[in-house]
Chains A and B, each alone.
Chain A
Amino acid sequence: MICALVAAAAVQTGCGVSASGVSSNGGDPSAYPLVSGPASIEHHAVTAADGSVSYRPAPPTTYETQPTPTCQRAIVQTGTGSAELAIPPTPGLRAVALSPHETSVTWWFDEIPDIAARRSSWYQWWQMKTRVPRR
């Protein structure tokens, strides 16, 4: 049985990227490592009480992840083709259940290149969801 807490931290600025998504840190997002989307996510079958089968991403196998050391680059599809954009680093994450319905989550970043200059304008938030598995 899998039930998931989904958390997302939003970063107002970072990676030398303006609100338009265009690099503003001297125009060189190419300094960041290029990442690609998950080419093949392992899925496993879940059988519901009514016998129907659905496929869901396999659960993680670790209790902690480390943040990526820097911002990254990703290729995205636009209306006119593809574009290479700087995206924020992936946070580190650790979560501990305090009770059946209380979970403590801790997140951190190693470094965001322009965090020092723009720290006052940082605003981050978490978005959390629970997903109830079908049985």
Chain B
Amino acid sequence: MTLRLPFSGRSGSTVIRYGDFTDPADVALISATLANGLRSGVVSVLIRQS
């Protein structure tokens, strides 16, 4: 599943909802990408289970 959410600013947050056709996610990854495709490194974290 791929989802794109526009935002502006130096920080942000969002809630990702996805169908129960898949197992619960336990890892999140992120990178920053310039419009021309240059991309930062990718970092990942465990998703804290509340």
Which A residues touch B1, using CB under 8 A? 128-130
**B14 & A126 in contact (Cβ 8 Å cutoff):** yes
Interface size on A, residues (CB 8 A): 69
Complex Cα gap A4–B17 (Å): 13
Complex Cα gap A1–B23 (Å): 9
Which A residues touch B10, using CB under 8 A? 108-109, 112, 115
**A126 & B3 in contact (Cβ 8 Å cutoff):** yes
State the Cβ distance, B6 to closest chain A Cβ, in Å: 5
**A95 & B39 in contact (Cβ 8 Å cutoff):** no
Which B residues touch A64, using CB under 8 A? 45
Q: Mark A54-74, 1 if CB is under 8 A from B, else 0.
A: 000001111111001000100
Which B residues touch A21, using CB under 8 A? 34, 36, 38
Which A residues touch B28, using CB under 8 A? 4-7, 93, 95, 103, 105
Residue ranges of A at the interface with B (Cβ–Cβ < 8 Å): 1-15, 17-21, 35, 37-38, 59-65, 68, 72, 85-91, 93-98, 100-109, 112, 115, 119, 122-130, 132-133
Supplied contacts A60-B46, A88-B33, 4 more A-B pairs, CB within 8 Å? A11-B34, A89-B32, A107-B12, A128-B4
